[in-house]
């Protein structure tokens, strides 16, 4: 990063940044909401996610789902496909200022400024990880707590599963972003075998469900779920460890889904259906963007797709994918299996995404694109021998499918269950 601003003096750089409120610039293309007096928050433009992790201050931004960060110049270069000189001119127009050449002394000052910013961000990340580890250390095993009550209310049966995941925890009093304190279900997020984050589900006092996220506390709106620390690229291993150094002891199938409840429900469905061949490791990626990874984009920031081509060279849209199969950005893959692990990946899909009204894309198409993007990403990993997508009934996730099965006792319910277990797609 050093030397990136060598056509811009330190003084002019500071003047440009001071004159431009980055929140208003980014807010033109990304829907942002005020989180506090200093920053706004919104859904990440760098990945597919359902919980906002993209935070924007007046002079810089940081995406907690992909670790992407930068200032006005970085934003213009990555989002508009501009070169650095072009980004300077664009920023000059936004700020209404003229700029000059940089002297050697100013270049050194710029490099020091960049280095200091990187060090500040590294220290901030370390504090976030430390707090996440503190949450996990303060949690106790979930067995016998209101976490069991909460899961039972979602038809997730401890007796069928053979016990709760060992790392699933219960925290008796955890502060929400609203400033209120609630009981919570917790699980550590591991990256390269180290706890770097914590996933938290805030619960009602009796465990009858999640807290009401429509209400507000003294510091703002509640969050029913929150992630802390450095979570992008990590995962919550509920059952099974992938140990590349002991392949004979590692499961040969990795079942990966988004939410903790969805993955637990998928495992329960597997057990109830007798599909023991698909049993293996069950992990949660905890965010849609982490499961799918980022989609590749062209220099104009347009998403890239790969069309399926016939022998005569005619592109043919795949069912549910009229725009083609999304092309993964392998530089920002999100979660991938450990290096040197060999096995197959079964993606626990979800078909409950909302319609994209702005781009007129139905939720079902969004789900198809998202999980085929994940399939393409996993297929590109060296040790992965095959990828399958397990689809729930339309409009459902795995937990919804489980609840339908429990609630109904007709043949159609069993048919839906069988469809979820057996449906696979790995031909990306």
Beta strands in 68-149 (DSSP E): 69-70, 140-141
d(CA 94, CA 18): 11
Last residue of some domain: 102, 123, 142?
102
The Cβ of residue 212 has, within 10 Å, a number of other Cβ atoms equal to: 10
Q: Which stretch, 10-19, 166-175, 217-226, has highest mean pLDDT?
A: 166-175
Per-residue pLDDT of 234-287, as tens digits, reads 999 999 887 656 656 677 899 999 999 999 999 999 988 877 555 689 999 999
CA distances from 4 to 12, 114, 384 (A): 14, 9, 38
The pTM score is 0.78
DSSP class of 249: G
**Is 307 among the domain residues?**
yes
- Name the residue among 226, 337, 234, 349 with its Cα closest to residue 280: 337
CATH of the domain at 60: 3.90.580.10
* Phi and psi torsions of 409, nearest 5°: -135, 35
Instruction: Decide if 199 is inside a domain.
Output: no
- Does 94 share its domain with 236? no
Place of tokens 């009204």: 357
Tokens, residue 316: 């043919």
- Residue ranges making up the domain that contains 309: 232-422
Tell me the per-residue pLDDT of 181-235, one tens digit each, with 9 for 90 and over: 999 999 999 998 899 999 999 999 999 999 999 999 998 889 999 999 999 999 9
Over range 290-319, report the average pLDDT.
80
At which of 43, 76, 102 does a domain end? 102
CA dist., res. 428 & res. 425, Å (int): 8
d(CA 328, CA 304) in angstroms, rounded, equals 8
Q: Is residue 55 scored above 60 in pLDDT? A: yes
**Is 201 among the domain residues?**
no
98, 236: one domain: no
- Pick from 266, 273, 260, 136: which is nearest to 197 by CA? 136
Strands 343-348 and 253-257 turn out to be parallel
Eight-state DSSP code of residue 335: S
**pLDDT tens, 393-427?**
889 999 999 998 888 754 454 555 555 554 555 54
Q: Quick check: is 314 in a domain? A: yes
246 within domain boundaries:
yes
Residue 390 counted as domain residue = yes
Q: Is residue 76 part of a domain?
A: yes
CB 63 within 8 A of CB 53: yes
Considering its fold, how many domains does the chain have in total?
2
pLDDT band at 110 (very low <50, low <70, confident <90, very high): low
Residue 242 lies in a domain: yes
Q: How big is the CA angle at 395 (ends 293 and 407), to the nearest 5 degrees?
A: 125
User: Which of 102, 136, 153 marks a domain boundary?
Assistant: 102
Residues of the chain with pLDDT > 90, as a percent, come to 45
Q: Which residue has the higher pLDDT, 95 or 229?
A: 229
Alpha-carbon dihedral sign for residues 115, 120, 124, 126: positive
- pLDDT confidence band for 8 (50 / 70 / 90): low
């Amino acid at each position: 990063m050093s030397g990136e601003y060598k056509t811009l003096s330190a003084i002019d750089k500071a003047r440009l940044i001071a004159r431009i409120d980055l929140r208003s610039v980014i807010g033109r293309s990304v829907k942002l909401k005020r989180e506090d007096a200093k920053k706004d928050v919104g859904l990440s433009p760098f990945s597919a996610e359902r919980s906002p992790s993209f935070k924007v201050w007046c002079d810089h931004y940081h995406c907690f789902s992909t670790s992407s960060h930068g200032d006005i110049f970085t934003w213009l270069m990555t989002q508009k496909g501009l070169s650095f000189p072009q980004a300077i001119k664009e920023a000059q127009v936004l700020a209404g200022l003229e700029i000059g050449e940089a002297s050697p002394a100013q270049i050194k000052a710029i490099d020091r400024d960049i280095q200091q910013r990187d060090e500040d961000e590294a220290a901030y990340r370390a504090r976030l990880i430390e707090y996440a580890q503190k949450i996990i250390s303060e949690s106790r095993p979930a067995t016998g707590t209101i976490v069991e009550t909460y899961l039972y209310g979602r038809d997730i049966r401890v007796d069928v599963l053979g016990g709760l995941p060992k790392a699933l925890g219960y925290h008796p009093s955890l502060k929400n972003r609203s400033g209120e304190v609630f009981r919570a279900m917790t699980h550590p997020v591991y990256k390269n075998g180290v706890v770097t984050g914590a996933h938290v589900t805030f619960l009602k006092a009796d465990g009858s469900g999640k807290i009401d996220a429509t209400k507000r506390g003294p510091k703002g709106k509640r969050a029913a779920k929150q992630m802390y620390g450095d979570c992008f690229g990590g995962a919550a291993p509920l059952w099974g460890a992938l140990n590349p150094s002991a392949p004979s002891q590692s499961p040969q199938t990795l079942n990966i889904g988004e939410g903790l409840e969805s993955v637990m429900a998928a495992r329960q469905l597997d057990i109830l259906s007798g599909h023991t061949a698909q049993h293996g490791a069950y992990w949660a990626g905890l965010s849609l963007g982490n499961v799918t990874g980022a989609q590749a984009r062209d220099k104009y920031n347009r998403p890239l797709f790969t069309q399926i081509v016939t022998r005569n060279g005619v592109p043919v849209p795949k069912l549910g994918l009229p725009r083609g199969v999304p092309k993964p950005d392998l530089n920002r893959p999100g979660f991938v299996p450990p290096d040197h692990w060999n096995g197959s990946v079964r993606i626990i899909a979800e078909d409950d995404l909302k319609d994209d009204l702005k781009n007129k894309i139905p939720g079902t198409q969004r789900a198809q694109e998202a999980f085929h993007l994940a399939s393409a990403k996993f297929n590109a990993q060296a040790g992965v021998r095959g990828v399958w997508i397990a689809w729930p009934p339309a409009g459902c996730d795995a937990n919804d499918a489980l609840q339908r099965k429990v609630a109904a006792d007709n043949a159609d319910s069993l048919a839906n269950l069988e469809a979820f277990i057996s449906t696979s797609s790995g031909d990306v």
